[in-house]
Amino acid sequence: MKSILEQLGKDNHGSDRNVLLKRIHEALSNKKYLIVMDDVWSIDDGWWKRILEGLPKTEKQGSCIIVTSRNEDVVRRMGVEEEQIHRLKLLSEKEGWLLFCKVAFASSKGKCKDIELEHVGQDILKKCCGLPLAIKTIGGLLSSKYQLYSVWKEVCEDLPHILANESKSYDSLMATLQLSYDELPLQQKLCILCFAIYPEDYEIDVDQLANWWIGEGFIHKKGTKTPRKMALECLSELISRGLVKAVRKRNYDGRVYSCKMHDMIREMIIRVAREESFL
């Protein structure tokens, strides 16, 4: 509710839900509105019912509420009818291969020049079942390895098969993300676990992150490279592996000013951080 009021430029102070709902109703009355509820996981605490009841009924004005979720049962419980559900399509084999090559062969501008690597790459791609996050993450992992058939074959054998549209797909995808974490050097493992404390979809200031890594002793001077330089290189490697996303960066040299983490990668990192007693 506070987020809606903030987007409307209205006063969002206070904790009384009835007061907040009244402000939302007043701000939207007699207006056409579009509300996006992004990445909804649960409505068990009744938040959705309260908001829905508090919104002005303006069906004739063409107002709309869009809900995104990976849980179709939650969407149905929110009152969405079958004909209103839009299911995102998985990537085609051609689209998946283009994305995979873009990441895995970034050093050669997305071009695979080895027929053996192409064959094992296609086998890896089949295990990803068209899921962009899985393709991008595994491509990032392979981009950091030697482009040798034996190395890629080993990764392919360790990679769980992601069963798209099946109940086990979530666990399989998490196992795939876990593999990318397991392959990180110790220093990068320590650094990426720090992302577990940030809220979901939070834009992280790179200077703050680098100072934290250095202060914790995760990053040290190496040769003529300062600790700050090493911290930025560590972040750059995490970005190239597809585990972290650059949000704001400088055009002429690509220096990153802020970054964030995909919510599913963040889930995996939080789980690992708890297992390692990092949190």
**pLDDT tens digits, 193-211:** 999 999 988 999 999 999 9
Q: What percent of the chain has pLDDT over 70?
A: 96
Average pLDDT, stretch 60-82? 86
Give the pLDDT confidence score for residue 211 in this predicted structure. 96
Mean of pLDDT over the chain: 88
Average pLDDT, stretch 53-60? 74
**pLDDT tens digits, 120-152:** 999 999 988 888 988 999 999 999 888 999 999
Give the pLDDT confidence score for residue 138 in this predicted structure. 92
Please give the Cα distance from 16 to 20 (Å, whole number).
6
Quick check: 166 pLDDT over 50?
A: no
Give the pLDDT confidence score for residue 104 in this predicted structure. 94
Instruction: Please provide the DSSP assignment of the chain as one string.
Output: -HHHHHHTT-------HHHHHHHHHHHHTTS--EEEE-S----TTSHHHHHHHHS---GGGT-EEEE--S-HHHHHHTT--GGG--PPPPPPHHHHHHHHHHHHTGGGTT----HHHHHHHHHHHHHHTT-HHHHHHHHHHHHTS---HHHHHHHHHHSPPP-TTSTTHHHHHHHHHHHHHHTS-HHHHHHHHGGGGSPTT--EEHHHHHHHHHHHTSS--BTTB-HHHHHHHHHHHHHHTTSSEEEEE-TTT--EEEEE--HHHHHHHHHHHHHTT--
Quick check: 162 pLDDT over 80?
A: no
How much is the pTM? 0.67
**pLDDT tens digits, 76-93:** 999 999 999 998 888 999
Rounded to a whole number of angstroms, the distance between the first and last alpha carbons of the chain is: 29
Average pLDDT, stretch 221-226? 93
Quick check: 68 pLDDT over 60?
A: yes
